[in-house]
Structure 1
């Protein structure tokens, strides 16, 4: 076992090593004693250490259709030996699954075959653009996750909503819970018994029927900004899950066919050096053009 897996849980290590094998098979093999660490039986939550020898039994893969993954590179905002930060375009998933054959992480691994370790630090919705972090070392990934849990990140998004936003600065604290539609689509809604969720919205510019806002995430729940805004009566334009269908259709017919949500700035301490990083991804050209059109008398 090398440094990249030091401190990693056994079940997570096996799921990464045995991609495609159902989780139930992996857990059954561990609990049945077929997986051994240093010749001994261990639990699924056992933490691996440098030098450990892991015995993995033959595990049957389900028959799968092989999908072609094209190599892909994306605009780099920051990169060193520990981490990579890219400017993800809208319309690209961060990983495969749920009807998507591949995403950013699979394309990066394909284009960087020499890289021993590439893992997503966090996620962005498929239709959200902007800053996305990838760990290049397990120690960096663990450090970034801990910093995120401790509130050591400052994350800001830019978004345009339908409606004339009232307050210059507004805290929205609405608890959220996940649910699934009859068609199997994942959604999120406000629920008094849901997880705590907190977003701070600041008005940047009014455009009559629309408003440009800065959204600062204080928690990181799925679809948090989108649901907080929609539930407040100001849906994000182009949001096909929580937005206004009539407004979206009108904007699409005039040429703007994406959700206006962009991960704009990120401030955090480097997980290994402790250096303060101030990262920024400028608004994409289609968003800039849309704002210019709104500003035109």
Structure 2
């Protein structure tokens, strides 16, 4: 563009102004007709459009849906419509992003199970499961980058960025919808290991506190206990008791955002290392080694076991993940165990 500006101000050797060369015009967006395959069957139309219309603002996607510009089999639909195999979607002219979003570096993670339907990994702490909220990419983007030939790969559920452990991904749409149905109907068994600060008393304790999601002024997502919130239920079992700490197994009966963290914090037992709902003074102190106790620079929450019905074979499947080494080292530095219950099942 600097060269064009310079030429437009000067003259040619013959004294006549040079022609101004306009930048090449971007081709106008066109109506698209897409046929839905079996792999996309069952997906909501809004989620499908958000995935394929890269760089288009979410608000614009929902506007064209509300206006009826998006048609399925020549008929109007709403954003809740679930796609069927063979559906023909009319997508109105939408200008996609001119620049592709930054690509995620390919990465692989410890695999606990992989077959034609599922991929189950052991996610490390500190890694987001997907991009967004200031994170350029997460596990799902990295796995897709490392497996470019994969036709389908989607998260079945999510883990907080600072939570480690078992993460399920589906390699077929049918597996995704089957596992979502199991979770919605309470047929999966998800269990976590967590360390709390305080004098925990009960061998087994039910916590039923309704939870409400809200957004802070800076856009950060938080959760609090609120009477009119979503019903939430966690069962905590005592595994080991130390002088000032307790190692618990948390069994999720519902799957709300930050459920374990908020249920424990509200009950007076903050998870060690929790930077949202925890004891911030204690967390800072624990980041430095003290005598025999080693430093802990993460949240002590680990998804250690899950049981579900395999979507292809119909068999009950239980997977386990060992407590990460940094958590085991921290436990050894806490001194003798005062109470030791049965090992988690």
Give the structure with higher Rg (CA).
2
User: Residues 108-154 of structure 1, C-alpha deviation per residue, up to 9 Å, x if partnerless?
Assistant: 11000000111111110000000011111111100000000000111
Show the 5 A alignment for 1:63-212.
Answer: 66-212=101-247
Q: Aligned pair 1:18/2:58, yes or no?
A: no
Alpha-carbon distance in structure 1 between the residues aligned to 2:262 and 2:58: 31
TM-score, normalised to structure 2's length?
Answer: 0.82
Q: Aligned pair 1:217/2:252, yes or no?
A: yes
Alpha-carbon distance in structure 1 between the residues aligned to 2:45 and 2:321: 36
Q: CA deviation at 1:81?
A: 0.8
Structure 1 unaligned blocks of 5 or more: none
Q: Aligned pair 1:295/2:295, yes or no?
A: no
Cα RMSD of the aligned pairs, angstroms, is: 1.6
Structure 1 residues 32 and 146: alpha-carbon distance in aligned structure 2, compared to 1, 3 A threshold:
same
Show the 5 A alignment for 1:218-233.
Answer: 218-233=253-268
How many residue pairs end up in the alignment? 297
Find the counterpart in structure 1 of residue 341 from structure 2. none
Is the Cα–Cα contact under 8 Å of residues 143 and 272 in structure 1 kept in the other structure?
A: no
Instruction: Name the stretch that deviates more: 52-61 or 80-89.
Output: 52-61
Structure 2 unaligned blocks of 5 or more: 1-35, 290-294, 338-345
Is the Cα–Cα contact under 8 Å of residues 25 and 59 in structure 1 kept in the other structure?
A: no
Is the Cα–Cα contact under 8 Å of residues 193 and 250 in structure 2 kept in the other structure?
A: yes
Partner SS state of residue 253, structure 1:
coil
Structure 1 residues 31 and 190: alpha-carbon distance in aligned structure 2, compared to 1, 3 A threshold:
closer
